[in-house]
Amino acid sequence: MSDPCLDTLQRVFGYDAFRGDQRRIIEHVVQGGDALVLMPTGGGKSLCYQIPALVRSGTGVVISPLIALMQDQVDALTELGVKAAFLNSTQEWSQTRAVEQAFLAGELDLLYVAPERLLTDRCLDLLARGSIALFAIDEAHCVSQWGHDFRPEYLGLSFLAERWPDVPRIALTATATTETRQEIAERLSLQQAEHFVASFDRPNICYRIVEKKEVRRQLLHLIKEEHPGDSGIIYCLSRSRVESTAEFLVKEGIHALPYHAGLGTEVRAENQARFLREDGVVMVATIAFGMGINKPDVRFVAHIDLPKSIEGYYQETGRAGRDGEPATAWLAYGLQDVVQHQRMINDSLGNETHRYNQGRQVDAMLALCETVSCRRQDLLAYFDQAIEPCGNCDTCLSPPECWDGTVAAQKMMSTIYRLWRERGQRFGAGHIIDILRGKDSERMRSYGHQSLTVFGIGNELTEQGWRGVLRQLLALGMVAVDTQGYGTLMLTEASRAVLKGERSLSFRRETTVANKTASRTRSSAPRVVLPPEAQQRFERLREWRASVAKEHGVPNFIIFNDATLRQVALEQPQNFDDLRCISGIGVRKLQSYGTDLLACISE
Ligand code: ADP
Ligand code: ZN
């Protein structure tokens, strides 16, 4: 075969062409080069090491931190007729022995190993006695100490370069900033490696950021109106919020499950397995969930708390729509999120630099929330990639109105300044807004605040309107949470120019109920629609797939993904030759399932 890489892609995986940089990466590694690959989730990273492992002689050793997913990864390869196995702590001794022997006999194409396992004497010794095609270091950003996925064992992996200088190494991640990339290159001794940085755009994901009002109702609306029966992930900041949100959704008839680090290992494994195996499960989770989850048909990712950084947000939302079909990334955030984040940073341990970094990351996240330009443009700019306005985010689909908020900002700032002088007390946002709106109450009089000059000067805005002003001032860094004492709100240096009238401010208009409904229908992700008869065939194929998957004890998508079944339903192949032309049907799957597929559509 003149082109072994392309041949493998078509024969084993059933795809007709490489995507993006895949070919260059694969050929580079096949020729023995080291590579650092940055590609968004769903970009097709796995093939970048799986194909070289098949083409080169010896076994490809894949280092992956995700023990719970190794079984699925190996099952998926086995379905393709690839000889794969894993070594990790969940195995019985006899299984370990069998895998080791298969490796030594040169029978394995791919071997998955957890990093802590790899660095044991026994494992290094085993590897030294076999033949290795390459090392693939998956989720390479785990080596980064500032990231939330840091795994200390990853720091030991630079050792591979010393011990096996002639074996190519390929590190892969979906984390995109230049800083993280440099950190990975340094810590894994990949400075000499060729870097492949793909476009991070995920055009099929519709990004939407909404103002938090009644977040549970908003969430329910998103699920019931836009994503009924779809798989999705809902991210919350705390364990208790995960629990209460999952409970609420279950009561509302949604198939929701909780996931956070406080649940027992078994519960977590079980919930994860159900998410992967059953259709239409909504996982309510902390960020402990999701890395390496290769479920292709997650249709929405919702955040009901503000993520800590754009990097995190991008990775989490990236778990939607890996199959390339329309998906939604939805975030609800409000004033309280901003205040809470600042408090958390102030209270966090660690040195000044660490706090500064955290603060900077939240600031970037807030700027994204408050932007009046294309969300995707802002997101990608954060990763140093420039694009035109996308047409598939809320600000593109229904551009927000702006208003001159200079005077309102001055009023808000004056009030904050007055209260700051009484900083023995902690006055929350609600009290500040009550003063502006001139609310006469017991509490107000007990502080004597009804006699402040700012009392009642802000009747032109509703309470919600003022919350919007304050939120945007916090996002702009003109108001901050006091780092000492009571966490009162205070003015920053940046506010001076506005107070003096030297700088004017333009704010996003808070959406009113009326135009919210209008924008909702316009800005939601389109759904894939098949003609009615094809839809019926598709449903039959899905039923067939579910029964096969159950029999084999694997997630549905490991048998075939939706896109493949949809193509079968649409094109109605008549024989094996027709089936061969469908994306996602390779030699092995044709043998195993060809007859069933033909029978299923001729019914
Ligand atoms: P990543 O690891 O980068 O998140 P995967 O390797 O899981 O992405 O690939 C995402 C999906 O795209 C998978 O279903 C994979 O089979 C599919 N895919 C990858 N490369 C190709 C290709 N060249 N043609 C068609 N589908 C592909
Ligand atoms: Zn856009």
pLDDT tens by residue, 81-120: 999 999 998 899 999 999 999 999 999 999 999 999 999 9
The order of strands in the sheet holding 110-113 is: 84-87, 110-113, 59-63, 132-137, 169-173, 35-38, 194-197
CB 208 within 8 A of CB 331: yes
Closest residue by CA, ligand 1 atom 10: 42
Distances from the Cα of 567 to the Cα of 545, 579, 580, 601, angstroms: 14, 10, 12, 12
Based on C-alpha coordinates, what's the Rg of the chain?
Answer: 27
Q: Cα–Cα distance between 6 and 51 in angstroms, integer?
A: 9
Q: What share of the chain is helix, strand, coil (3-state, %, to 5)?
A: 50, 15, 35
Work out the average pLDDT over 251-277: 95
Nearest to 140 by CA among 189, 88, 76: 189
Nearest to 554 by CA among 167, 278, 345, 196: 278
pLDDT tens readout for residues 397-406: 989 888 999 9
* Banded model confidence at residue 513, pLDDT cuts 50, 70, 90: very low
388 alpha carbon, closest ligand: 2
Q: What is the DSSP string of 160-185?
A: HHHH-TTS-EEEEES---HHHHHHHH
User: Does the C-beta of 43 come closer than 6 Å to ligand 1?
Assistant: yes
Closest residue by CA, ligand 1 atom 18: 44
Work out the average pLDDT over 266-274: 94
User: Does the C-beta of 319 come closer than 6 Å to ligand 1?
Assistant: no
User: Does the C-beta of 296 come closer than 6 Å to ligand 1?
Assistant: yes
pLDDT of residue 526: 63
Closest residue by CA, ligand 1 atom 21: 44
pLDDT of residue 169: 98
pLDDT of residue 427: 80
Distance 348 CA to ligand 2 centre (A): 34
CB 63 within 8 A of CB 123: no
Work out the average pLDDT over 354-360: 78
* Banded model confidence at residue 408, pLDDT cuts 50, 70, 90: very high
Q: Which one-letter amino acid corresponds to residue 542? A: R
* Burial letters 53-65, b for 16+ CB under 10 A, else e: bbbbebbbbbbbb
pLDDT of residue 357: 78
Output the furthest CA–CA distance in the chain (Å, rounded): 88
Distance 563 CA to ligand 1 centre (A): 12
Distances from the Cα of 180 to the Cα of 138, 198, 366, 565, angstroms: 15, 15, 21, 38
CB 260 within 8 A of CB 286: yes
User: Does the C-beta of 23 come closer than 6 Å to ligand 1?
Assistant: no
Pocket test for ligand 1, best of 41, 47, 205 (most atoms within 8 A of CB): 47
Pocket test for ligand 1, best of 9, 13, 27, 64 (most atoms within 8 A of CB): 13
Work out the average pLDDT over 135-145: 93
Distance 232 CA to ligand 1 centre (A): 19
Nearest to 180 by CA among 216, 154, 206: 154
User: Does the C-beta of 44 come closer than 6 Å to ligand 1?
Assistant: yes
* Burial letters 401-436, b for 16+ CB under 10 A, else e: eeeebbebbbbbbbbbebbeeeeeeebebebbbbbb
Residue 516 has pLDDT above 60, yes or no: no
pLDDT of residue 483: 65
Q: Which of helix, strand or coil describes residue 231?
A: strand
320 alpha carbon, closest ligand: 1
Distance 301 CA to ligand 1 centre (A): 19
* Banded model confidence at residue 525, pLDDT cuts 50, 70, 90: low
Distance 290 CA to ligand 2 centre (A): 25
Task: Report the share of the chain in percent with pLDDT over 70.
Answer: 95
Q: Which of helix, strand or coil describes residue 322?
A: coil
pLDDT tens readout for residues 336-350: 888 887 777 777 777
136 alpha carbon, closest ligand: 1
Q: Cα–Cα distance between 234 and 232 in angstroms, integer?
A: 7
pLDDT of residue 524: 59
Distance 294 CA to ligand 1 centre (A): 10
Closest residue by CA, ligand 1 atom 27: 44
Distance 15 CA to ligand 1 centre (A): 10
Q: Cα–Cα distance between 315 and 306 in angstroms, integer?
A: 14
User: Does the C-beta of 322 come closer than 6 Å to ligand 1?
Assistant: yes
Residue 307 has pLDDT above 70, yes or no: yes
Q: Cα–Cα distance between 589 and 574 in angstroms, integer?
A: 16
More confident of the two residues 530 and 243: 243
pLDDT of residue 351: 76
pLDDT of residue 347: 75
Q: Cα–Cα distance between 10 and 105 in angstroms, integer?
A: 27
Closest residue by CA, ligand 1 atom 12: 44
567 alpha carbon, closest ligand: 1
pLDDT tens readout for residues 166-196: 999 999 998 778 888 899 999 999 989 999 9
Work out the average pLDDT over 362-373: 89
pLDDT of residue 515: 38
User: Does the C-beta of 295 come closer than 6 Å to ligand 1?
Assistant: no
User: Does the C-beta of 50 come closer than 6 Å to ligand 1?
Assistant: no
Question: Which of 327-336, 469-478, 572-581 is least confident?
Answer: 469-478
* Banded model confidence at residue 42, pLDDT cuts 50, 70, 90: confident
Residue position matching structure tokens 């006999």: 105
Residue 518 has pLDDT above 50, yes or no: no
Pocket test for ligand 1, best of 18, 197, 322 (most atoms within 8 A of CB): 322
More confident of the two residues 146 and 77: 77
26 alpha carbon, closest ligand: 1
Residue 403 forms beta bridges with which residues? 507
Pick the atom of ligand 1 nearest to 40's CA: 3
Closest residue by CA, ligand 1 atom 9: 44
Q: Cα–Cα distance between 364 and 83 in angstroms, integer?
A: 45
Residue 243 has pLDDT above 90, yes or no: yes
CB 143 within 8 A of CB 188: yes
Q: Which one-letter amino acid corresponds to residue 421? A: R
pLDDT of residue 529: 80
Distance 100 CA to ligand 1 centre (A): 29
Residue position matching structure tokens 């309107």: 465
Pocket test for ligand 1, best of 170, 294, 567 (most atoms within 8 A of CB): 294
Number of H-type helices and E-type strands within the chain: 28, 17
Q: Cα–Cα distance between 282 and 442 in angstroms, integer?
A: 45
* Banded model confidence at residue 48, pLDDT cuts 50, 70, 90: very high
Pick the atom of ligand 1 nearest to 318's CA: 4
Residue 222 has pLDDT above 90, yes or no: yes
Q: What angle do CA 110, 149, 35 make, to 5 degrees?
A: 45
User: Does the C-beta of 41 come closer than 6 Å to ligand 1?
Assistant: yes
Mean pLDDT, the chain, rounded, equals 91
pLDDT tens readout for residues 460-501: 999 889 988 998 898 888 998 876 656 678 899 999 999 999
Entry pTM? 0.86
